Structure 1
Amino acid sequence: MSAKPVFSPDWGQNPQNPKNPQNPQNPQFPPNNNPPSQSNPAFPPHKNSNPPALIPRKTSLNSSFDNSPYSTPTSEASPNPPEEERKWGYRPNTSRSSSPRSTRQPFGGRSGSFSELPTRRQAYSPPLCSRAGANREDPISLAPPSLAPPSPPSPFRPSSPGPRSSPTSASPKFSPKSSPKSSPKSSGRSTSPKKGRFGFFKGDAKKGGKKEALDKEEEREQVVNNPQSLADFDQKTLKRMQKAKISHKEFEGEGAKNFFILLNCLRFLNILPKNVKYSKPLSHGEKLYNNNEEELDEQLGIRPFNKRLVTIGGKLGKGGFGSVSFATVNPEVAQECSPNMVEKKKIAVKKMVHDTDKAKNYNYIEISFVSRLNHPVVVTYYDTFKEPNKNELWLMVEYLDGGNLHEAMKRTQFDPSDVGFIAYRLLKGIMYLHELGFVHRDIKSRNIMLTTRGEVKLIDFGLGIEIKNREKSISVCGSAHYIAPEMIRLEECSHDFAADMWSFGVVMLELLNRQDCTEKDPLTFMYRTATVGVLEHFKLGKEVSKRSAEWVSSCLVMDKEKRATAQMLYDSEFVKRRNKADNFRKIVEMCFVGKVLDDFGLGL
C-alpha cells in the first residue's frame, strides 16, 4: 500500500495550508526573500502566476513507476541543483505546461531503471536542506553545509549553552580520506589493538582460546616448577586431588614419602605441566629411530602405498596411535606388491601417525617386533606401507572379527571356567614373548582380541621393549589402570617380565569381578596401586571362589620378586579347570552377534 505524497498538488490553491512553503507559519521552510522574476533564470515565473507544481517523492516500490502522474521523465537530472532547490528541498517544474502531469523525473533517477527507484529511507527522509545529511556523501543530500540552514532544536536533546555559529561562518572542511566519518582509522578512537574479555587481542579471535590456554599454562609452569610438597601445588592440582579423594593427611609423618609417588601420577596423567619433573630422572632406553628413516624403511621393507592394493572400509577402532579400518584385498595387485596377502580377502589396516620423532620411534619398534613374531596368540603381520601425503604408516594385519575383550565384557559375564580359558590362551602368548626376551608393557583388555573361531590374540606392540634394555629404562609407560606399582615408583629394572604379569592380573581381576576398572578415577587407581596395592581398593567380589582369589592374587603381589610368573600361572589348578574351546567359541559368537546388532543400532 502506497503512502500519500508529502505535498498536495493543490497546495497553491490554499495559501493557509501548513504544508505550503509559502505559509509564514511553517517553521520548516523559511520565507522566500527572492520571489520568481525574469532576472532569476534558475526559477522562472509561471504563466498562470501560481506556484510551481511540486514533484512528490516515490513512497512505494510496488506501485508502477511509469504510470505515476508525477514521474514521467523527459530529461536527466541536473548535477548542479539551483539555489531554490537547495533552499526549499524540492525541484520546481520548469515546464510551461499547466497540466498536473509533470514531465520532470524524480531525483537521481533515470527512466525505466528499477535500481534508481527511491528507497524507503529516501521517501521519508527530511528535507534536503536539513542539517541531517549535510556533511555526509549522500546522494539525497544535495545541499552543501555552507548553504544548509540550521535545524531547529530537538525537544529530546537540550541545546548547547554556547553561542551558535552563524551560517556564514567558516566551518572546517574534511577530505574523504581524512574525514573522521568516512575513515574508520581516524574515527577519534584509539588505533592500538584492543584486548578481549579474556586478555588476548581481538585480532587473534580464532586463536584466542588456544592463546589464553597457553598463557595460563605458562603461568602454571612458573608457579609449579619443581614441587617438593603439597604447598607448591596450585589450586587446580589441589582440586583434582580432592576429586580423587586423596587427603593431605596421608602425607604427614611417614606418609611424606608418598608425595613423590603422587607427583609421578600427576605428571603421567598430564595434570601437572610438562616442565614439572618426575621424582627421578627418566631414561627410555635405546631408540630405534635416530634420523635414519630411509635406512629403517629399507631394513623393515616399508614401501610406498599402492592405492589399488586394498579398498578401505569402515573404522574398527581409534586410539592415540591413530585408527584401525577394515579393508578388502585386490588379489591381482597383491600378487605383485604383497604376496603375503594374496589369499586374504579381509584384513585390518592400522593407520599410525608418523610425523614426530616420538611417533616414528614407537612405530618402528612395533613393526620390528610384530614382523618377527609368529604365534597363534599373536596377531598375524602381513606388510607395511607408507602414505606420504598423510604422514602415516599403514600396518596390514589379520582381521579379527570378534572384537576386543573390553567390548565382550560389557555384553556377557564370563564364568570362572571361561576366565580360565582366556588365561590359558594369553599365558601361552606371554610365555612366547618372554622366551624371545620381549616385554609387552601394555597388556589390557582393549589389546586382547577375540575371533568367532574362539581364538584369543594379543595386539599393539608399540610400547614393547627387549629385556636386555630394562636396566636403561626408567619411566612410566602403559595405560594408567594397568601399570605395575614398581614402574609408578620409578624403581630400577622395573621394565621386566613382572610388569606384564601385573597387567595380566588386573585383566583377570576385571573378568572375575565382572567390573571394568577403567571406570575408576585414573589418579585414584594409580596412586592406590603404588601405595597399598590394587586389591585394597579394587577388591574381589564375594562371588569369587577361594581358588580363583588365590590364583589372581598371586600375580598382584606388590613385591615383584614374589610375583608369580607366566609358567607358574599356566601350571595352576585354576587354568586346568578351564572351559572347552567349543563352548568358548559359542560365547564369542553371541558377543559377535551383539556387536553387529549394536553397529546397526538394533542392540537390546
Structure 2
Amino acid sequence: MRFKDLVPVQYQEGRYQGDPVTLGVGGFGRVELMTTVNHGKYYAVKRVSKKHIVAKRQEEHMLFEKKILKSTQCDFIVLHAAFKDTRYIYMVMEFCGGGEIWTKLKESGRFDEPVAVFCTSCVVEAYAYLHKKNIMYRDLKPENLMLDVRGYVKLVDFGFAKEMVRGDKTYSFVGTPEYMAPEIIKNQGHDFAVDFWSLGILIYELLVGPPFSSSEPQKIYAKILDGVMKYPPYMSEAARSVISKLCPRPGQRLGNTKNGIKDVRHHWFGNMNWHKLRMCQLDPPTVKLIRKGPSYINFDRFPLDQTKADEEFSGWDRDF
C-alpha cells in the first residue's frame, strides 16, 4: 500500500456535503475516512501533528504504537500501516463501519446482557493476544472499542500500551480516570492486573453506566479508592459476580491468578463458543445497533479543519 493511493471519502448529503468525512476528533488529532482509488476499500486514517507529539513528549508512545501496528495480527485489534511527512504521522487502520461502542451506548442508554457479553468477549480475545505478547493495554473504555460492519468489536488506540516483563511493575500514571485501577491512583506500581480491573468497569458501564463518575477527576479517584459499587436490581447475579471478581485487590483479581485469562472465560460468558468467536463465525447480537446507509452513517459528523500543522524536523521519527 502507498499513502498516495488513498483519497478522502466525502459527505454525500447534508450541510457538510462535499467535505471530507471525519470519523473522530481528539486531543491527538483527527481520524478521517479514506478509500483507495482503484478497488474502493475503506480505511480510517489517524493524523497526528508531529509538533504536538514533541510538545507532549509522546515520541516513545508513537513509536511503540507503530511497533504494535507492524507486529499485530489479531481479528480483535484494528491496525494496518503507518506513514509520515514533514507535518504529520499517519496511522492507517482498517475502517470499522459500525461506529464506536461509546456512541451506541449513548444512543441506547445501556446494553442488554447478550450484547454486553459479546462486546466483552471480543475484548477478552484482544487481551489474550496482547498479554501473550507481554503488552498491557491500559486504556480500555467504550470510546476505544469499534464495531465492524458485521458487529465484531475491535480495540483501537494504543497510546497507553506498554511492553512489560512478567513479574515487573511500572509506575506511570496513565489511563482514563473512570477506568483507572486503585494501584495506579495510589502509585503503588502496577502490572497486567490493571487490564482486568478495567474489564470489570467496562462490563458495569455496558450494563448500567459508569460505576465511578464525576466531572472532577479527584472525586472519581476518591470513589474508586472507596471501592463501593452499587448493583441495580436488574443486573444478573452472574454479571455481579464477574465484576466483583475482576475488581478486588490486584493479587485476587480474576485473570491475574494462576490460570490467567482462562479463568475469565469461565465466568459470566455462559455458552460462548470461544473458538467460533476467534474464527469470526458467530452472528453478533451487536448487529442490531448498526445503522444502514452511507459508509459513515454510524459516526457523528464533524466540520472540516482548514488549519495545517507546522513542520517538524527534529528527526525523532527517523525510523517511522
Kept in 2, the 8 Å contact 1:353–1:359? The answer is no
Name the counterpart of 2:312: none
Q: Give, in whole Å, the separation in 1 of the partners of 2:114 and 2:141.
A: 20
Match of 1:316 in 2: 23
Percent identical pairs in the alignment equals 26
Residue type of the alignment partner of 1:431: A
What do the CA deviations read for 1:375-431 (whole angstroms, capped 9, x no partner)?
1101131x211121xx21011111111111111111223211221111211101111
Name the structure 2 match of 1:371: 70
For 1:411 and 1:327, the matched residues in 2 are separated by: 26
Q: How does 1:386-465 map to 2 (within 5 A)?
A: 386-388=84-86, 391-412=87-108, 413-465=110-162
Pick the structure with more strand per residue: 2
8 A contact 2:79–2:93 mirrored in 1: yes
Do the aligned partners of residues 478 and 577 (structure 1) sit closer, same or farther apart at CA in structure 2, a change above 3 Å counting?
Answer: same
Q: Which of 337, 345, 351 is equivalent to 2:41? A: 345
Q: Which amino acid aligns with 2:133?
A: L
Q: Does the 8 Å CA contact 1:512/1:544 hold for their aligned counterparts?
A: yes
Q: Unpaired runs of 5+ in structure 1?
A: 1-302, 332-342
Residues 351 and 571 of structure 1: CA distance in aligned 2, closer, same or farther (over 3 Å): same
The superposition leaves residues 459-503 of structure 1 with CA deviations (integer Å, 9 ceiling, x where unpaired) of 1011111112984631210111111110111113x1x21011111
- Correspondence 1:490 to 2:187: yes
Is contact 2:22-2:301 (8 Å) kept? no
Contact 2:135 2:162 in 1 (8 A): yes
Letter of the structure 2 residue corresponding to residue 511 of structure 1 = L
Provide the rounded CA distance (Å) in 1 between the counterparts of 2:148 and 2:217: 30
**Structure possessing the higher radius of gyration over alpha carbons:** 1
1:504 to 192, 195, 199: 199
Counterpart secondary structure, 1:367: helix
1:94 counterpart residue number: none
Correspondent of 2:239 among 531, 545, 548: 548
- After superposition, give the CA deviation of every residue in 1:280-312 in whole Å (9 maximum; x if it has no partner): xxxxxxxxxxxxxxxxxxxxxxx9x85454336
TM-score, normalisation: structure 1: 0.42
Task: Verify the 8 A CA contact 1:352 1:393 in the aligned structure 2.
Answer: yes
- Report how far residue 368 of structure 1 moved: 0.6
What code does the residue aligned with 2:24 have?
G
Hey, what's the Cα distance between the residues in 1 that align with 2:298 and 2:6? Answer: 30
Match of 1:327 among 34, 44, 51: 34
- In the alignment, the residues of structure 1 paired with residue 59 and residue 98 of structure 2 have an alpha-carbon distance, to the nearest angstrom, of 30
Using the alignment, how far apart are the partners of 2:299 and 2:99 within structure 1?
12
Instruction: Verify: 1:561 aligned to 2:263, yes or no.
Output: no
Equivalent pair of 2:115/2:286 in contact (CA under 8 Å): no
**Which letter does structure 1 place at the counterpart of 2:297?**
V
Distance in 2 separating the partners of 1:469 and 1:321 = 30
Alignment partner of 1:582 out of 264, 279, 283: 283
Q: Is the 8 A contact 1:437 1:467 kept in 2?
A: yes
Give me the whole-angstrom Cα distance separating, in 2, the residues matched to 1:460 and 1:470. 25
Runs of at least 5 residues in structure 2 that lack an aligned partner in the other structure: 10-19, 256-260, 303-320
Where do residues 291-310 of structure 1 align in structure 2 (5 Å cutoff)? 307=4, 309-310=6-7
